[in-house]
Amino acid sequence: MNSPHPTVVLVYQRTSLPWVFDSAQRAGIRLVLVPRPDETVEPGRLPAAVADVLPLDVEGDPAGALAALQQYHRAHPFDGITTLYDPAVPFVAEAARALGLPGIPPSTAAGVQDKRLMRERLAAAGLNVPRFLKLDDGAPADAAGLDFPVVVKPAHGYSSLGVTRAEDPGRLAAVVAEVREVCRGVLGAEPALVVEEYLDGPEYAVESLAHRGEVTVLSIGYKGEPKGPYFEETVYRAPADLPAAVQEAVVREVTAAHRALGVTDGPTHTELRLRGGTEPYLLEMGARVGGSGVSHYIASHVTGVDLAADALRVAAGLPPASAGAPVTAIGAAANYIVPCGGHGRITAIHGLDAVRADPRVDHVVQMLHPGDVVRPYPDFTGYPAFVLSRHASTAEAEEFHRHLESAIRIDYAPEEGTR
């Protein structure tokens, strides 16, 4: 339809994370919100861009959700559908196909959501991929032909859920059993796994936008150098301080990965490691704005491009406003991901009020609170909080993050079942 005020269905986005709603308002895009099942949405407190709310059980009853969405579309036609929630990407692709709306095909969605397919397609395209094995449910633990240490990860995981390093063959069977339990209990997915060689080197995130096959890399950000055994995220600072030749190699690899995976339209969030500090190896690519909108915050403050607004435009079949414009860094942005630092029942979180008052901080997004129970790894309860800030340089952001390491502290009391 492409009306002056297009309408896009937004699947499973929390209203407490403001960026995509603010961007929709700026872009004049109406949203139909499919709320998260674990979030109570109060009509009087919805973001201004939300024109309607459509409850659907996308994960529990995808066929019923698609039928309800088709019925809604007949009564209230909309222009597009999108999500920032990684497990919903295949449903969104299937809905777009069924309704004749813009979007990536279901086969592409499967390739970016299933790490087994992703590894195979990247390797077939000649891209850098760590040596890996697929481990189906019930298959014995195996790393034949791989050099240790290896990393075991759920094929359908996200946010480092269950990702665990096995240092030697003697630990492999126990790690595989632990990760399978995370698949069953936390992810609610088949316990299909990927076992791959551990890549030694710093980790980076790349925010991109594709439109009709043209890929624009907006920002490259530093994500630390996690070594395991578990891979809890801690920092995200952009733009990364990389030599020009390494930046170019990253852009080439990420652009080629879009082609290999068939991602021609929409935003992507790519995570990779630089083996030896110079050679990019993709860990994963998500066909969405990453971090439930955090990637938009980073990319927009580094480049001035309204990534979330452009992602919504592409979902509605419109060209992005940034199309053809040169991408240059105009500042630095950062996300400090408050580490759990322990497990048990949270009794207090110290330091967040002072951080909220810091002029460098735009948002403190708190997910865990006193009274919540944090389960021990390799289970994953979630991140306590995000601290999003703007700086004159990446070096200043790094200094700020060092300050936050000592400024924020979480106290725990023992909880039965978490020891």
Q: State the average pLDDT over residues 271-295.
A: 96
Q: Are 412 and 343 in contact (CB under 8 A)?
A: yes
Domain annotation covers residue 119: no
Q: Are 355 and 364 in contact (CB under 8 A)?
A: yes
Domain annotation covers residue 157: yes
pLDDT at 184 over 90: no
Q: What whole-number distance in Å separates Cα of residue 182 and Cα of residue 416?
A: 19
**Do 158 and 81 belong to one domain?**
no
**Do 238 and 337 belong to one domain?**
yes
**Do 29 and 136 belong to one domain?**
no
pLDDT at 380 over 80: no
Query: Is 174 strand, coil or helix?
Result: helix
Least confident of 1-10, 196-205, 320-329: 1-10
Q: What whole-number distance in Å separates Cα of residue 345 and Cα of residue 347?
A: 6
Which of 56, 79, 111 is the last residue in one of the domains?
Answer: 111
Q: Are 217 and 200 in contact (CB under 8 A)?
A: no
Q: State the average pLDDT over residues 256-265.
A: 98
Domain annotation covers residue 223: yes
5-22 tens-digit pLDDT? 899 999 999 998 999 999
162 to 88, 130, 236: CA distances (angstroms): 19, 19, 20
Q: State the average pLDDT over residues 367-395.
A: 92
**Do 224 and 309 belong to one domain?**
yes
Which of 111, 144, 170 is the last residue in one of the domains?
Answer: 111
pLDDT at 1 over 60: no
**Do 102 and 247 belong to one domain?**
no
Torsion of CA 216, 218, 224, 228, to 10 degrees: -40
Higher pLDDT, 326 or 338: 338
Give me the long-range contacts of 72-79 (CB less than 8 A, separation at least 24). Answer: 72/32, 73/99, 76/7, 76/32, 76/52, 77/1, 77/7, 78/6, 78/7, 78/8, 78/9, 78/32, 79/1, 79/2, 79/3, 79/6, 79/7, 79/8, 79/315, 79/316, 79/317
CATH number at residue 186: 3.30.1490.20
Q: What whole-number distance in Å separates Cα of residue 180 and Cα of residue 188?
A: 10
Work out the burial of residue 113: count CB atoms within 10 Å of its CB; fewer than 13 is exposed, 13-18 middle, 19 or more buried: buried
Give the structural domain span for 326. Answer: 203-413
Helices 307-315 and 19-27, packing angle to 10 deg: 70
pLDDT at 37 over 80: yes
Q: State the average pLDDT over residues 88-101.
A: 98
**Do 103 and 22 belong to one domain?**
yes
Domain annotation covers residue 340: yes
Q: Is the sign of the CA dihedral 307, 309, 312, 316 positive or negative? A: negative
Q: Is the sign of the CA dihedral 85, 366, 189, 273 positive or negative? A: positive
Q: Are 235 and 334 in contact (CB under 8 A)?
A: yes
**Do 266 and 403 belong to one domain?**
yes
Q: State the average pLDDT over residues 275-287.
A: 95
Domain annotation covers residue 118: no
Confidence at residue 185, expressed as pLDDT on a 0 to 100 scale: 74
- Please tell me the total count of domains within the chain: 3
pLDDT at 196 over 80: yes
Read out DSSP for 272-325? EEEETTTEEEEEEEESS-GGGGHHHHHHHHHH---HHHHHHHHHTT---TTTTP
Domain annotation covers residue 391: yes
Domain annotation covers residue 63: yes
